Structure 1
């Protein structure tokens, strides 16, 4: 089944299946459970045999972990675990390490940095569930670095990985569309809105829709096939942005904007010879229509909410509008600054080894009891100096992307994925599959199609050299 999805010979049928999965999830968990295990068991003989490259395993894992939120919405637990992404990524990456050659040695350094905090608990109340909740995210990132780093993949297969991750998000889009109330039944306020996220965490839904919008944008501007019809692709892009904005959770949507801006930056700053050599897309022809659809979604939602959306993105709250609160960076970030500062204070008091994994929430003086939303400050507070080393190593891997891959588009995509992954850790920590998956994709070694100068005789009497892409 995974090979069928990768080949994408009947894109309309695949899209229809995932829309049906999303719609049926509002009624019963059975279709999602059946489809999930159908993909696993039908692909098992490919996954169990030893191969020179783990790309097929990576494709399967990335597709299946993208069902994390849809499975939760469909209430498939325990048949599909509640935090699917964490457990499946862990199992998949361990299997890949056992079965394939890996060269991401810095991932082992990151993994070692996490070990001491497992045996430290300054609070004295950390449970096994707390350890799992706080550790699996950074552990999975380290494992992803080990497995994904410099794994060779063709450009066509790279685009297929992106497409695979969008399919389950289409299901989430269908679910939230069916579950959304009528506009006249909802009174919009200056806070996250679960009514438009299917009744689930608006931050996670917004993050997922932002990811879907970014990835679909990438497929569209490169003319990599998704549905096979530009207008239909644009409709899905509009849907991601529209529903994402309605959640009033800003993190995911702003992440998509950051990723798109980075890609456009690399396109606009590319030299003429690079644009010719790599057949880079013309910004006006493909990018502007995509931006138009996304901007239209913002305008429509702002109009439907009576201008509340613009106030929300401007950082206003009910308190700041009434004058009872002063608008500050902390109010704009919905308390994340206080969480960050509280964690830093803990780190300064426990500099070398931190307070132990899962203990910061009950010990920090600001926002006590609140779950960490900023992974960097959590690493510092709970892992101490080793947490800082972990984050520096991770950032070093991202910094290396700035000078790798000669194709400006591919380099832009890889840098965008890594940047959005790190950005996501600053508003949703590492609690979802998004950061590990994007970091993994950014570390792949994308092999470009060869371009050979070939003489052609064009219409007319003159002759010129043109570049022909050899697939």
Structure 2
């Protein structure tokens, strides 16, 4: 076993230990949360970001977000988005940004009218600063991160390390959930999303992270496992994340993670030679068998309720009227708001207040696309067009970024069921803009002029 492989196993075990330690001593979560920012800042300043260290730090911040929210370890609820923004700006201080990143300057400028309108339209009894920040922090995080990553050169090894930086804190979350709910059968009584199996936190967000973690370790099993031991370790971690994600009974995150894995397989199969196709076929068969085993075990543990959940049935087996737990009604409301205010929208955060006046309950949007339309109007539509088209155009420049479509699909599907409540869709989207190289550049300076 090589030194690199030993280090990798130690990292996985170390993060599993963090999850167990925080379960035993909850106050450790605060120490863990603060130390991420302290050591991250020290790491970037010490290295002067020569090899895009800010991406590793930002990735780790993103990966730990839901776990720290779940355990009370974040200094501020939205600190992860602000942390990504701060580290991306620090990275630009050391390494600059591409002059060709003007689409994302335009995207950020398109958000300004919605912010200005919100200051005049929000209720006087609302905390205007917090309301605007809550609704605009996700898009701003995406814009700033994209300015840094746009056409930035990284090696294939580096992008895999960035993904690992997201995945390691999710290992801690997975272990914490295992001890938080050791016996799933005791808490599953219906087909609704379950807070007990998601650490007492929002099942939608937890499943989103576990689904992405599943993708990270499945991809490492395929691309970064040179020995049978590493194949086994990555497969075990991925399957455990799959199980823990499925039993949250929140479907969006797990379906997204599964589609990412399938998309990666198809992309690799299309790009590889006949010998590679044979190996991928074997791995695909292995994953199919393992996935069916996990699903069967989950079905057994939940007395078949998980089957009914994904079939959109209640515990009695009756079909539910809504396939999206009422979210389509919110989306329709926002589309109607857009049609009434097509040019500039109603302003950032205002759509939720208008809904409250109409139905008497303040319900936040789960769909970032319809929210952008309702609150930013045609400017929001133009901004979304920039976000959709730019990565696809870049693909024709650099077709070796085999994760590009996986990242864009994750972003798109996640913002459709979980909006941008967390930093992960914004940051993962920005990774699709990287220019991936097979070998390190001879020029060690990664700055962009």
TM-score over 0.5 for the alignment? yes
Matched, 1:395 2:388: yes
CA distance in 1, matches of 2:154, 2:70: 33
CA distance in 2, matches of 1:406, 1:356: 38
After TM superposition, the structure 1 stretch with the greater mean CA deviation from structure 2, 219-228 or 139-148, is 219-228
Aligned pair partner of 2:295 in 290, 294, 298: 298
After TM superposition, the structure 1 stretch with the greater mean CA deviation from structure 2, 253-262 or 88-97, is 88-97
Matched, 1:23 2:20: yes
CA distance in 2, matches of 1:225, 1:152: 25
**1:66-465 counterparts in 2 under 5 A?**
66-77=63-74, 80-103=75-98, 104-121=101-118, 122-125=121-124, 126=126, 127-224=128-225, 229-270=230-271, 274-275=272-273, 282-317=279-314, 321=318, 327=321, 331-364=322-355, 365=358, 369-407=362-400, 410-411=401-402, 413-449=403-439
- Give how far 1:334 is off: 1.2
SS at match of 1:189: coil
Deviations 1:274-317 (A, max 9, x none): 5279x677222323223322221111111221221111111224
CA distance in 2, matches of 1:160, 1:147: 18
CA distance in 2, matches of 1:351, 1:50: 48
- Give how far 1:35 is off: 4.1
- Give how far 1:202 is off: 0.5
SS at match of 1:115: helix
**Aligned residues: CA RMSD:** 2.6
- Give how far 1:8 is off: 6.8
Kept in 2, the 8 Å contact 1:107–1:144? The answer is: no
- How has the CA–CA distance of structure 1 residues 226 and 47 changed in structure 2, closer, same or farther, with 3 Å as cutoff? farther
- Give how far 1:110 is off: 0.7
- How has the CA–CA distance of structure 1 residues 98 and 423 changed in structure 2, closer, same or farther, with 3 Å as cutoff? same
CA distance in 1, matches of 2:163, 2:190: 34
- Give how far 1:113 is off: 0.6
CA distance in 1, matches of 2:317, 2:243: 26
CA distance in 1, matches of 2:41, 2:277: 38
- Give how far 1:134 is off: 0.6
- How has the CA–CA distance of structure 1 residues 45 and 257 changed in structure 2, closer, same or farther, with 3 Å as cutoff? closer
Give TM-score, length-normalised by structure 2: 0.88
CA distance in 2, matches of 1:123, 1:41: 36
Q: How many residues align?
A: 430
Kept in 2, the 8 Å contact 1:11–1:227? The answer is: no
Give TM-score, length-normalised by structure 1: 0.84
Report the counterpart of residue 62 of structure 1 in structure 2: 59
CA distance in 2, matches of 1:106, 1:343: 26
Kept in 2, the 8 Å contact 1:11–1:228? The answer is: no
- How has the CA–CA distance of structure 1 residues 434 and 165 changed in structure 2, closer, same or farther, with 3 Å as cutoff? same
- How has the CA–CA distance of structure 1 residues 262 and 374 changed in structure 2, closer, same or farther, with 3 Å as cutoff? same
Compare the two structures and name the one with the higher helix fraction: 2
CA distance in 2, matches of 1:82, 1:350: 31
- Give how far 1:336 is off: 1.5
- Give how far 1:43 is off: 5.1
Give the gaps of 5 or more residues in structure 2.
441-449
- How has the CA–CA distance of structure 1 residues 71 and 43 changed in structure 2, closer, same or farther, with 3 Å as cutoff? closer
- How has the CA–CA distance of structure 1 residues 242 and 68 changed in structure 2, closer, same or farther, with 3 Å as cutoff? same
- How has the CA–CA distance of structure 1 residues 406 and 183 changed in structure 2, closer, same or farther, with 3 Å as cutoff? closer
After TM superposition, the structure 1 stretch with the greater mean CA deviation from structure 2, 163-172 or 285-294, is 285-294
Give the gaps of 5 or more residues in structure 1.
1-5, 451-471
- Give how far 1:372 is off: 0.7
- Give how far 1:189 is off: 0.8
CA distance in 2, matches of 1:52, 1:362: 43
Kept in 1, the 8 Å contact 2:243–2:294? The answer is: yes
- How has the CA–CA distance of structure 1 residues 53 and 317 changed in structure 2, closer, same or farther, with 3 Å as cutoff? farther
CA distance in 1, matches of 2:366, 2:226: 36
Deviations 1:43-88 (A, max 9, x none): 54542268575611111111123111221222224xx322332121
CA distance in 1, matches of 2:389, 2:190: 41
Report the counterpart of residue 446 of structure 2 in structure 1: none
- Give how far 1:318 is off: 5.8
SS at match of 2:215: helix
Kept in 1, the 8 Å contact 2:256–2:410? The answer is: yes
- How has the CA–CA distance of structure 1 residues 47 and 36 changed in structure 2, closer, same or farther, with 3 Å as cutoff? same
Deviations 1:410-467 (A, max 9, x none): 43x21111111111000000111220121122111110139xxxxxxxxxxxxxxxxx
SS at match of 2:436: strand
- How has the CA–CA distance of structure 1 residues 171 and 243 changed in structure 2, closer, same or farther, with 3 Å as cutoff? same
- Give how far 1:27 is off: 3.0
Larger Rg: 1
Kept in 2, the 8 Å contact 1:11–1:226? The answer is: no
- How has the CA–CA distance of structure 1 residues 363 and 223 changed in structure 2, closer, same or farther, with 3 Å as cutoff? same
- Give how far 1:226 is off: 10
